Amino acid sequence: MVGLVRRLVLPLLILLSILGAVAASKQNSPAMPAVRWSEGKPGSTFTSTADGKYLYGLKDGDLEITIAVDSQELEKVRHRPLPIFALRIEAHYSGQKSLDLTTDHVTLEFVRHYQVVNSSLDPDELSTRIQNDADNLSDEVEHDVRKHPKKKQEQESLLQSHLKDMTDLMGFISLHCLRPVTLDPGNPETVGWVFFSAKNKWIGGWKPQEEFILHVPVKDRIFEFPFTLPPHKGDVVLRRRDE
């Protein structure tokens, strides 16, 4: 079963790398001015939540963007059916005109991995690929069970567990992804999750502490959010126990 999963996941990892590379090649010109989050800087805010999220807020003129990063995101990446890094973006627009916010050019820089820059993955393409892999995995297991009927219970149990993880991931992507939107006085805010491939030949395994920079281009500027995982010592986020 493990071998089957690896054979199915490998092509997806290659696809994620290709999608990220293609999207990164389209990102906005480096000449665009950057608005960078910095502790204590006017317009920059930081809060933490009881469920373990770090919220970095950055306001410039009539636009404020806040990102939410789970303090245990690195560990969660390891336990997902695919190595996908996720974070939430929330935007508030107070202008009187309109402002387009898209995810095509949103990128995540893996600072300690040769400064690799991966673009956000298209949620529909990602979900379709996961569904195709789930179908292929089911076919492979059915074939193996016919050849080795004594392993039917074990194989089908592992299959159902893996399919559940894949289904849950597809459901989350479909319901909570950040979609392109036009912000205006009648629709001043949006919120959703963006996803990035977190594994290729340059990224490899996680280091003891990782540094990232999220780049969010909007119109004629780029909002930049540097952050570190796991948190620095002394910078602890307490989690509320499930009730």
The SS3 assignment for 106 reads coil
Tell me whether residue 114 is in a domain.
yes
DSSP β-ladder status, 84-93 and 63-70: antiparallel
Q: Phi then psi for 19, rounded to 5 degrees?
A: -60, -40
Strand partners, 44: 58
The whole-angstrom separation of Cα 216 and Cα 221 is: 8
> How many structural domains does the chain have?
1
Tell me whether residue 243 is in a domain.
no
- Contact (Cβ atoms closer than 8 angstroms) between residue 20 and residue 197: yes
Over residues 179-201, mean pLDDT: 96
The whole-angstrom separation of Cα 149 and Cα 141 is: 11
Alpha helix positions (H), the chain:
2-25, 73-79, 123-147, 152-176
Going by pLDDT thresholds of 50, 70 and 90, the confidence category of residue 243 is very low
Residue 34: exposure state from Cβ atoms within 10 A (0-12, 13-18, ≥19): exposed
Tell me whether residue 237 is in a domain.
no
The SS3 assignment for 107 reads strand
Report the candidate in 56, 84, 82, 59 with the shortest Cα–Cα distance to residue 69.
56
What's the pLDDT score for residue 225? 98
- Contact (Cβ atoms closer than 8 angstroms) between residue 101 and residue 91: yes
Tell me whether residue 239 is in a domain.
no
What's the pLDDT score for residue 147? 84
Judged against a pLDDT cut of 70, whether residue 236 lies above it is answered with no
Give percent of the chain with pLDDT exceeding 70. 82
Tell me whether residue 29 is in a domain.
yes
Judged against a pLDDT cut of 70, whether residue 237 lies above it is answered with no
Tell me whether residue 87 is in a domain.
yes
Report the candidate in 175, 204, 186, 218 with the shortest Cα–Cα distance to residue 60.
218
The whole-angstrom separation of Cα 190 and Cα 184 is: 11
Tell me whether residue 157 is in a domain.
yes
Going by pLDDT thresholds of 50, 70 and 90, the confidence category of residue 199 is confident
Render pLDDT for 24-79 as a digit per residue (tens, 0 to 9): 444 444 578 999 999 999 999 999 999 999 999 999 999 999 999 999 999 999 99
Judged against a pLDDT cut of 70, whether residue 182 lies above it is answered with yes
DSSP for 42-70?
TTEEEEE-TBSEEEEEEEETTEEEEEEEE
In degrees, to the nearest 5, what angle opens at C-alpha 150 toward C-alphas 149 and 154? 100
DSSP β-ladder status, 34-36 and 221-229: parallel
Going by pLDDT thresholds of 50, 70 and 90, the confidence category of residue 238 is very low
Range of the structural domain that residue 127 is part of: 2-229
pLDDT, averaged across the chain: 86
Judged against a pLDDT cut of 50, whether residue 177 lies above it is answered with yes
Judged against a pLDDT cut of 60, whether residue 20 lies above it is answered with no
Residue 40: exposure state from Cβ atoms within 10 A (0-12, 13-18, ≥19): exposed
Q: Which of 112-121, 126-135, 151-160 has the highest mean pLDDT?
A: 112-121
